[in-house]
Amino acid sequence: MATELALIDLSEKLVEAEIKDLQNAREYLPKCDIYGGSNYKLAANSTIIIMCCSTPLVPGETKLNHVQRNLDAFKRIIPHIVESSPKSMIIVLARPVDIMTYIAWRLSGFPKNRVFGIGTMMESSKFRIAVSQKLSINALSVNGYVFGEQGANAECAGVKLRSVYPEFGTKADKEGYNFIPQEITESDNNIDKAKGCGSWSLGLATCRVCEAVLHDLNLIFPLSTYAKGMQGIDRDIFISLPCLVNANGVRGILFQQLSDDEKDLLTASAKQMDELIQSIEW
């Protein structure tokens, strides 16, 4: 996909090992020059910068404390990005992704279309898979997104599930669809406990977003994006919404009509996000 890949980390030994690991598979990949080190100038003039750095969440730690520790890392890194790759796009993978994407935008000063996070890409994928399993259909026939932090909407082969099953995902749901978000959270927690974090699935999802940018594909992904003015949100926040992505980054936000419950959940997510942002010590 890319013709050049630069890996940057404080540990040059780690970078060297990762480069060798990737280079061992070079014959199976399209031509791509892979290099790296601890000097940010190695990534100068990049088209895309992927922010992977994130401190591990300590058991019992508050989200605010976790954000503060990650903020310190971003303060050290982002000025180098701005200096060496001033025209780049920043894709944030660090958790909590919506807050860290806001921080990357604020620290970089980049236009909002050029800073976005991986958002609910993985949650949306898991949601579609779970719905497809309940309906015994191929997941490729399910179109649905998890947005904000809680809401979800789904279609199957162009048919809105709530048009044929109005109770879908509500408290009155007798088919168990309303338990899907809980199942997704439990799955994530199990992965975190076993291996620290999900990596393969996150990497594949990120590659798909990069492909949309590099090849100007105009694809829709649920990404963390600037949300003020969307669906009644009146705060400077980044939250996961269906984004149209091309060579310019986030070209726009596309929304289907939301139910009142979904609007309430999105508004609640936005409020929580803003309260956390206001608590950050810059």
Segment 205-225, tens digit of pLDDT: 999 999 999 999 999 999 999
What is the model's pLDDT at position 187?
78
The dihedral through the CA atoms of 187, 188, 193, 195 has a sign that is: positive
The residue out of 117, 138, 168 marking a domain boundary is 117
70 is in an annotated binding site: yes
Find the domain containing 229 and state its range: 121-279
Residues 15 and 84 in one domain: yes
What is the model's pLDDT at position 104?
99
Q: CB within 8 A of 175, min separation 6: which ones?
A: 134, 165, 167, 168
H-type alpha helices, 58-179: 63-84, 97-108, 121-135, 161-164
User: Highest-confidence range of 38-42, 60-64, 269-273, by mean pLDDT?
Assistant: 38-42
Residues 109 and 74 in one domain: yes
Residues 102 and 128 in one domain: no
Residues 104 and 126 in one domain: no
User: Mean pLDDT throughout 226-244?
Assistant: 92
Q: How far does Cα 84 stand from its chain's mean position?
A: 24
User: Mean pLDDT throughout 243-250?
Assistant: 98
Burial of residue 252, with CB atoms counted within 10 A of its CB: 0-12 exposed, 13-18 middle, 19 or more buried:
middle
45 is in an annotated binding site: no
Whether the per-residue pLDDT at 171 is higher than 80: the answer is: no
The angle formed by the CA atoms of residues 270, 275 and 276, to the nearest 5 degrees, is: 100
Which percentage of the chain shows pLDDT scores above 90? 58
Whether the per-residue pLDDT at 169 is higher than 80: the answer is: no
On whether the CB atoms of residues 55 and 69 are closer than 8 A, the answer is yes
pLDDT band at 68; cut points 50, 70, 90: very high
pLDDT band at 150; cut points 50, 70, 90: very low
Whether the per-residue pLDDT at 100 is higher than 90: the answer is: yes
Instruction: Tell me which of 57-66, 209-218, 253-262 is least confident.
Output: 253-262
